[in-house]
Structure 1
């Protein structure tokens, strides 16, 4: 359904500005949902179809993505408003991403980074974005996860984004306003502590139902339960010697889109969904991406992947003639290692990210609430060999590094 305010009269001046054509005439608009049930918990996505005539008389048929904030009456909306997710994403598309695009072009790095914004409308909490489907950008399979080719390409895209943001911080520090220093674990916010408490309880119910995992890690995990928000906050804390960038903040399979060559190999990649973007160590993006999105055999090459990202970051900064300090590879690895607890917190989302069952939900609270629907959904997403294998491997690594002990 089209929002009632989204008329030809509304869209026409905005398309004229975007297309730089004062005689452009919108002829017709119609719509379809852009995502399926349960694919997007944070907003409402609609694909609109627009026929318009250019000043030269030619008629164009285009599609755009309309991204609206949830209505304030929706229960989960309260969480998203407290963390300024909608303000932040509108700031990203209106101010930050165009500036990053400009900086990248200046450095000769002009491959597409994301979709352009046609308009950002704060009155309606809405953005109208370029549709990436006509460029043949598609999502990879979130259940199968990413192979090495997709992973390396994504790391190169993140390195470009991180490098441009370092230069942005240097040249336009005022653009990164207060909302970019807010994250899941911000100590002055409350709503996500309820979310993570529920996610962790769901994880503990799963552990308690796996005799081997319960015996090996149950006691330690139950003791950790009340500390996870503080340990998460410490992972996001950035010391003076740490590299700090703007992060994507939610880099996983569904928020990355690929273009393929004729042989079916990925040749370019863009990121979408920037509502969680924040300023912290770029290694937070890496932990989240590695934990949620990689095939097992790719994740096993973690050391090589960290190096791949670091070298791409360094090469991009050289293209910017960046003169600031950059950690050595060894220092960067230590910065990554100090944030390893993030992999446990990212794993709380993984069961629903790779879920392939029939228990659908469009309610974000089903991921963590102890309601009948929530408990049923959580039990279903955890009943997976892939999740058991993934949790077993992760807990063994964290335990060996002493990260399941109280810090």
Structure 2
């Protein structure tokens, strides 16, 4: 549901303020300037089809701390409002918006068109994928429901799933086997429905071709190559890794090209709409209150969707978000688990193209294996970073001394060092550190 028709009225609305002394004072902290009480009131009126709805009080706070997210601004909203029939209701919402006022971040991300594409995905694609699952009697919720899409402000408004018991898992700990399998089950259904949707609607998803690596821009090179160079500096300090560090140095000029090849379409391979950024911070988990075991997962954040190999999501997720032992030892088994659900969903939806065998699927993924090495070497350090002083988008995307200091600090983390120490010999033996691969 779009709220763009309401934007012209928002400028005349006062900023959020207290309404009555017997309710919590309305508060706004570090939120976009346009996010006013009037904006929220008009959005809720539209969503609930109730033009007499009025907000009683509202609190607005940042949803994530510094260093927790680099792809936009997330704002948590709690509002009490009264409906036209006199009933009072408490609502919990998440507002996701672009980097307001940050010209560098906006210019860097502009070629990726992430905000417009994500809004398109929530409005036009995810509802169709949900309908496909319902077609085969599968009612499992995979995505968050969207309350509003605001094109002028590049914003999305969702129900805050935290109010239903969904929370973000600990990005520093890594996901256990049970939780990883839930994510992979939903990933498999998401991928399968996208393949069927693209087939049924005349290749409608193939225009989504601007993932992290693409043939249009290299604006993220300072982050990916810069992190790889920081990893190389760290590895060069370890006795016995001198030859490995030299190989890594020789890989720098080819690094972005190798990444682009992962996202290129490979003839004969099965393709899907990959989430593109599927890691710990982009899944919300509901845990059992008594046992603490994970019960359910919702996948969020579709800014970097890309039509391409399932390897994009599989390698990104498995090499960024799992407990170390799973990261190191269980990937083949996890891929087989994913594939069983993926292929079954394709068959139930009567997918008309060739479904590979499990062995063929492994072979297809192996051709994209550099992406596993990339995530372990250049992305894992960002995701497990504990350095907060310089942890922001600019530190990732710039090449000045502050940015270099931040990237170097990412590799002082013991778990990041362990990943490099144990997996670099494996990647080297597979030829994934060779410039001529």
TM-score, with length taken from structure 2? 0.87
Q: Which residue of 2 aligns with 1:103?
A: 132
Give the secondary-structure state (helix, strand or coil) at the position aligned to 1:212.
Answer: coil
Q: Secondary structure at the match of 1:120?
A: strand
Equivalent in the alignment of 2:356: 327
C-alpha separation between the residues in 2 aligned to 1:214 and 1:51?
61
Q: CA RMSD in A?
A: 2.0
**Which consecutive aligned stretches of 4+ in structure 1 deviate over 6 angstroms post-superposition?**
none
> Unaligned 5+ residue runs, structure 2?
1-28
For residues 80 and 202 of structure 2, what CA distance do their matches in structure 1 show? 40
Cα gap change, 1:399 to 1:184, in 2 (>3 Å): same
Tell me the secondary structure at the aligned position of residue 167 of structure 2.
Answer: coil
For residue 53 of structure 1, report the CA deviation from its aligned partner.
2.4
Contact persistence 2:188–2:342 (CA under 8 A): yes
Alignment check: 8 A CA contact 1:150 1:266 kept: yes
User: Do the aligned partners of residues 52 and 370 (structure 1) sit closer, same or farther apart at CA in structure 2, a change above 3 Å counting?
Assistant: same
Among residues 254, 257, 268, which one is paired with 1:227 in the alignment?
Answer: 254
Shift of the alpha carbon at 1:163? 1.1
Rounded to whole Å, the distance in 2 between the matches of 1:359 and 1:48 is 25
Q: Which residue of 1 aligns with 2:304?
A: 276
Matched residue SS, 2:81: strand
Distance 1:177 1:12 in 2: 38
Matches within 5 A, 1:237-248: 237-248=264-275
Tell me how far apart the structure 1 counterparts of residues 323 and 251 of structure 2 sit (CA, whole Å). Answer: 28
1:349 match: secondary structure: helix
2:187 to 147, 151, 158: 158
Cα separation, 1, equivalents of 2:297 and 2:147: 21
How far apart, CA to CA, are the structure 1 residues paired with 2:128 and 2:42?
23
SS at match of 2:166: coil
State the secondary structure of the residue aligned to 1:284. helix
CA contact (8 A) 2:220 2:397 kept: no
| Correspondence list, 1:354-373, <5 A | 354-356=384-386, 358-367=387-396, 369-373=398-402
**Contact 1:96 1:175 survives alignment (8 Å):** no
CA distance in structure 1 between the aligned counterparts of 2:90 and 2:320, rounded to whole angstroms? 37
Residues 222 and 399, structure 2, Cα contact 8 Å, conserved in 1? no
Partner of residue 433, structure 2: 404
| 1:57-105 CA distance string (max 9 Å, x none) | 3211111111110136442222211111111111112221222222222
Structure 1 position 21, deviation (Å): 4.8
2:364 is aligned with 1:351: no
Contact 2:129/2:197 (<8 A) preserved: yes
Moved more, 390-399 or 300-309: 390-399
After superposition, the Cα gap between the structure-2 partners of 1:127 and 1:368, relative to the gap in structure 1 and judged at 3 Å, is: closer
Q: Within 5 A, what are the aligned runs for 1:45-194?
A: 45-71=74-100, 73-173=102-202, 175-176=204-205, 178=207, 180-194=208-222
1:236 partnered with 2:266: no
Aligned to 2:17: none
Distance 1:397 1:160 in 2: 31
Match of 1:376 in 2: 405
From 224, 227, 241, give the equivalent of 1:199: 227
SS in 1 for 2:94: strand
Residue 10 (structure 2) aligns with:
none
Q: Which deviates the most, 95-104 or 113-122?
A: 95-104
Distance (whole Å) between structure 1 residues aligned to residue 99 and residue 85 of structure 2: 39
Q: What is the aligned residue count?
A: 404
Q: 1:171 to 1:393 in 2, by over 3 A?
A: same
Q: 1:104 to 1:69 in 2, by over 3 A?
A: same
Residue 220 of structure 2 aligns to a residue in which SS? helix
Instruction: Name the structure 1 match of 2:60.
Output: 31
